[in-house]
Chain A
Amino acid sequence: MKEEQDYINDLAEIRSMMERSSKFLSLSGLAGVMAGLYALAGAWIAYSVLNFTPQTISSEYYQSVNASSNLTQLILLACLVLVLAVGTAIWFSYRKANKRGESIWNATSKRLLASISVPLLTGGLLILILLSKSFISLIAPLTLIFYGLALYNASKFSYEEVKYLGMIQIALGLLSTLFTGYGLLFWAIGFGAVHIVYGIFIHIRYER
């Protein structure tokens, strides 16, 4: 006959298996902090080196010819930040998964990726279409909104906190739509500051 402790262990193991087989928990908090730092650095370069001030974003400035090269630089900068952030996230997840004896490419990470990719690709394509039609001012808000939707959607398959991260990004994106002149500022708050706070929180809560 089993002891009480055995039953408690059984329940604990059932719970752990349910979590392990449905959630990808190798997302790294430190990668979140790094992504935030890249975003802040990117926003700073956009602001001070490329002279991309909040006021220029919604004015007719970008209809002018000399602005188009500036815009190209800005897009390249944004892409660089994105590649660095995603690369860091994958590398840190890979290390964390290894440490936990998990594979980074398993049933849970595939599902996580699938749930992220639909809102993110939709947003990405929409932004490309808007770019081609020179609707520049809506781009910063939309990156935040679609990123937030992707996170909210993906949170079922990872940490509960990802849901709140998503809701904050959506709220910032909507606010930013009201104040399009401050797109860069909202962008820096959402992708920079919020990521850093979130990353530190995850790191303290789950990684120590």
Chain B
Amino acid sequence: MHKAFESRVRLGIMSALAVNDELDFSSLKEFLDVTDGNLATHLKKLTKLEFIDEEKSFIDNKPNTRYFMTDKGKKAFDDHLKVLEQIIKSQK
């Protein structure tokens, strides 16, 4: 089981990005209900692992960063889901 998914916030980020092509910082923040700093830290960790990537742009002269899942991230997330399911099944 990958350590990246031990954190609730990181698991939340990956879940949200699994069903959205891309999401910006403020949308993620609203869904996860965390502080800016907390979210930024976890996003940085996931980016470092190459599970997600970011795309920076400007909207009305304000910086806007959108995040999306990489293929590597997708695979890791799917594997994680499979492991979770297996554990639950085997314990029943």
Contact = CB atoms under 8 A, between A and B. Distances in A.
Interface of A: 4, 7-8, 10-11, 13-15, 17-18, 20-22, 101-103, 106-107
Given A103-B30, A107-B23, A18 B87 contact: no
Given A10-B11, A13-B11, A107-B20, A21 B31 contact: yes
B19 A101 contact: no
**B8, B15, B33, B85: most-surrounded residue (chain A CB, <10 A):** B15
B81 A14 contact: yes
Interface in B12-68: 12, 15-16, 18-20, 23-24, 27, 30-33
B31 A20 contact: yes
A21 B24 CA distance: 12
Contacts of A4: 87-88, 91
A11 B88 CA distance: 10
Given A13-B15, A14-B11, A17-B12, A107 B27 contact: yes
Given A4-B91, A13-B8, A18-B15, A106 B84 contact: no
Contacts of B24: 107
A173 B80 CA distance: 46
A18 B19 contact: yes
A83 to B, nearest CB: 29
A21 B15 contact: yes
A181 B84 CA distance: 59
A103 B33 CA distance: 12
A18 B16 contact: yes
B88 A18 contact: no
Contact of A17 (B31, B81, B85, B87): B31
A101 B29 CA distance: 13
16 contacts: A4-B87, A4-B88, A8-B88, A10-B5, A10-B84, A11-B85, A17-B16, A17-B32, A18-B15, A18-B18, A20-B16, A22-B19, A22-B20, A103-B30, A106-B27, A107-B31
B84 A7 contact: yes
Contacts of B81: 11, 14
Nearest to A10: B84
B72 to A, nearest CB: 18
Contact of A14 (B15, B30, B32, B88): B15
Closest 4 CB pairs of A and B: A17-B15, A21-B16, A107-B27, A22-B19
